[in-house]
């Protein structure tokens, strides 16, 4: 007999959890305060990135953030504000950004990304969702300077040593594999191990499939209270309904920390805002790329090319800062001089909040305080890439199966 499971959060993590939980025979309800058509799961770069082996919390990042703090157009922006929780998170981030901790995280990040990449393929081959874009053209790291090249080559050598497919492209070879667009770069590191998708195509298909197989998806319902006792969590109260539960999965993205407070559980998280601009005209861009000096991600999606990027810590809001949108457009122009992003396209830019843990690793695992509470959040910029893996691990935990990988590094109760 399956369990009665409620998932708070209808992003890629929550929906992936619902997908694998219903496969195990559980009765699943997903509650989200939005209509599940916007947010980080819809505005991201759509990357599947085993190559992203370095966590956000790495040496030098805090110093970079402080230097850029007063430039609201900078790629890494921390809005000056008096917020004790943000100060605490920054301190934890600082403590996590050591060479030793990064070395420990690297194989873990690789393994969960590879697991997720395989699961995306399994979902496609199952035909559950019908057809959707899932391509393995790799990811280009485009560079203009020797400093950027040297930095990325260190990562590339490490990735290669760990069995990931990576190659180096000079200017001529780069233009040969991207013949339809002019690129102003000295060359690229090509992570052939990576893939890409169109999130705005995949998400509605996943929602439709889940509802067809009996998963209840409750849109525009905000969780007001979580009723718990020493025996565990028993009820979830929203602004519209009350739900009895056997198990609760907390996958509410950047809002997960606030919901954890209702249970007097500390879950250090900050919302890292990202931006995207969609260009629905032909651009000639055929391969996903990160424009290194501009810190911009570029993805050829179904029906448009997406330009995305920046990390902004300014609280839980969806405010679109025009100067940051302009910086993305200008950065794209530096690398693709024949691609002009129009004022209208910039005006349609959107944002999404990525839940960032202090050490750059997600929270995946059971609560130490409540036996029927499972956390699935804190994925930072890898949320899309890690969706299926997280959902699979959550389903295995709740069903009582051996997990597909060691999840100890993702312990929600870990100290920083």
Tell me: the pLDDT tens digits for 197-210? 999 999 999 999 99
> 354-374, pLDDT tens digit by residue?
999 999 999 999 999 999 999
Cα 264 to Cα 227, 261, 267: the distances in Å are 12, 5, 10
Residues 127 and 130: their CA atoms lie apart, in Å, by 5
How confident is residue 72, by pLDDT bands cut at 50, 70 and 90?
A: confident
Q: Look at residue 79 in the predicted model and tell me its pLDDT.
A: 80
Q: Look at residue 138 in the predicted model and tell me its pLDDT.
A: 98
Q: Look at residue 76 in the predicted model and tell me its pLDDT.
A: 77
Q: Is 240 exposed, middle or buried (0-12, 13-18, 19+ CB in 10 A)?
A: exposed
Indicate if the pLDDT at residue 292 is higher than 70: yes
- 25: its two tokens: 């025979």
- 38: its two tokens: 């916007």
Residues 308 and 329: their CA atoms lie apart, in Å, by 9
How confident is residue 68, by pLDDT bands cut at 50, 70 and 90?
A: low
Q: Look at residue 73 in the predicted model and tell me its pLDDT.
A: 75
Cα 310 to Cα 133, 251, 354: the distances in Å are 25, 23, 11
Q: Look at residue 67 in the predicted model and tell me its pLDDT.
A: 67
Cβ pair 374, 399 in contact under 8 A: no
HEC readout, the chain: CCCEEEEECCCHHHHHHHHHHHHCCCEEEEECCCCCCCCHHHHCCCEECCCCCCCCCCCCHHHHHHHHCCCCCCCEEECCCCCHHHHHHHHHHHHHCCHHHHHHHHHHHHHHHHHHHHHHHHHHHHCCCCCCCEECCCEEEEECCHHHHHHHHHHHHHHHHCCCCEEEEEHHHHHHHCCCCCCCCCEEEEECCCEEECHHHHHHHHHHHHHHCCCEEECCCCEEEEEEECCEEEEEEECCCEEECCEEEECCHHHHHHHHHCCCCCCCCEEEEEEEEEECCCCCCCCCEEEHHHCEEEEEECCEEEEEEEEEECCCCCCCCHHHHHHHHHHHHHHCCCCCCCHHHHHCCEEEEEEECCCCCCEEEECCCCCCEEEEECEHHHHHHHHHHHHHHHHHHHHCCCCCCCCHHHCCCCCC
Written out in words, the top-level CATH class of the domain with range 4-410 is alpha beta
Q: Look at residue 221 in the predicted model and tell me its pLDDT.
A: 98
How confident is residue 13, by pLDDT bands cut at 50, 70 and 90?
A: very high
Q: Look at residue 230 in the predicted model and tell me its pLDDT.
A: 84
Select from 160, 158, 157, 152 the least CA-distant residue to 289.
152
pTM: 0.96
How confident is residue 70, by pLDDT bands cut at 50, 70 and 90?
A: low
Residues 54 and 52: their CA atoms lie apart, in Å, by 6
* Proportion of the chain above pLDDT 70, given as a percent: 98
How confident is residue 146, by pLDDT bands cut at 50, 70 and 90?
A: very high
Q: Look at residue 59 in the predicted model and tell me its pLDDT.
A: 82
Q: What ranges do the domains of the chain cover?
A: 4-410
> 306-348, pLDDT tens digit by residue?
999 988 888 899 999 999 999 999 999 999 999 999 999 999 9
* Proportion of the chain above pLDDT 90, given as a percent: 89
Residues 237 and 225: their CA atoms lie apart, in Å, by 5
How confident is residue 57, by pLDDT bands cut at 50, 70 and 90?
A: confident
Residues 277 and 30: their CA atoms lie apart, in Å, by 29
C-beta atoms surrounding 9 within 10 Å: 30
Phi and psi angles of residue 140, each rounded to the nearest 5 degrees, phi first:
-95, 130
Indicate if the pLDDT at residue 65 is higher than 70: no
Indicate if the pLDDT at residue 61 is higher than 90: no
> 14-38, pLDDT tens digit by residue?
999 999 999 999 999 999 999 999 9
Q: Look at residue 212 in the predicted model and tell me its pLDDT.
A: 98
Indicate if the pLDDT at residue 77 is higher than 80: no
The mean pLDDT of the chain is: 95
Cα 73 to Cα 70, 79, 319, 332, 354: the distances in Å are 9, 11, 14, 14, 18
Select from 206, 199, 204, 120 the least CA-distant residue to 390.
120
Q: Look at residue 66 in the predicted model and tell me its pLDDT.
A: 62
Q: Look at residue 384 in the predicted model and tell me its pLDDT.
A: 98
* Length, in residues, of the chain: 416
């Amino acid at each position: 007999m399956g369990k009665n499971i409620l998932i708070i959060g209808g992003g890629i993590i929550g929906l992936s959890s619902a997908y694998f939980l219903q496969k195990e025979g559980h009765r699943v309800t997903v509650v989200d305060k939005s209509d599940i058509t916007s947010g980080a799961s819809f505005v991201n770069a759509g990357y599947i990135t085993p190559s992203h082996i370095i966590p956000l919390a790495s040496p030098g990042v805090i110093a970079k953030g402080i230097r850029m703090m007063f430039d609201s157009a900078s790629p890494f922006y921390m809005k000056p504000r008096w917020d004790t929780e943000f100060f605490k998170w920054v301190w934890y981030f600082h403590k996590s950004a050591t060479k030793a901790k990064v070395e420990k995280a690297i194989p873990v990040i690789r393994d969960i990304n590879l697991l997720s990449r395989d699961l995306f393929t399994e979902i496609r081959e199952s035909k559950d969702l019908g057809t959707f874009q899932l391509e393995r053209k790799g990811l280009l790291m485009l560079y203009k300077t020797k400093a950027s090249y040297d930095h990325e080559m260190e990562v590339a050598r490490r990735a290669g040593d760990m069995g990931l497919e990576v190659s180096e492209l000079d200017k001529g070879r780069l233009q040969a594999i991207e013949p339809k667009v002019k690129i102003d770069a000295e060359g690229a590191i090509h992570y052939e191990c990576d893939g890409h998708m169109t999130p705005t195509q995949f998400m509605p298909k996943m929602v439709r499939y889940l509802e067809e197989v009996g998963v209840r998806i409750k849109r525009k319902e905000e969780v007001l209270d979580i009723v718990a006792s020493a025996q565990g969590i028993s009820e979830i109260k929203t602004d519209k309904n009350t739900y009895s539960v056997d198990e609760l999965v907390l996958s509410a993205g950047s809002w997960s920390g606030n919901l954890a407070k209702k249970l007097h559980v500390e879950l250090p998280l900050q919302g890292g805002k990202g931006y995207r601009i969609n260009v629905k005209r032909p651009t000639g861009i055929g391969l996903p790329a990160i424009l290194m000096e501009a810190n911009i991600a570029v993805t050829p999606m179904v029906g448009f090319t997406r330009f995305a990027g920046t990390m902004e810590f300014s609280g839980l809001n969806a405010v679109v800062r025009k100067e940051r949108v302009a910086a993305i457009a200008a950065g794209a122009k530096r690398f693709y001089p024949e691609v002009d992003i129009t004022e209208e396209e910039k005006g349609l830019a959107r944002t999404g909040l990525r839940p960032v843990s202090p050490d750059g690793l997600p929270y995946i695992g059971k609560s130490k305080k409540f036996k029927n509470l499972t956390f699935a959040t804190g994925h930072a910029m890898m949320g899309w890439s890690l969706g299926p893996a997280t959902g699979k691990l959550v389903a295995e935990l709740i069903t009582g199966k051996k997990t597909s990988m060691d999840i100890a590094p993702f312990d929600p109760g870990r100290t920083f």
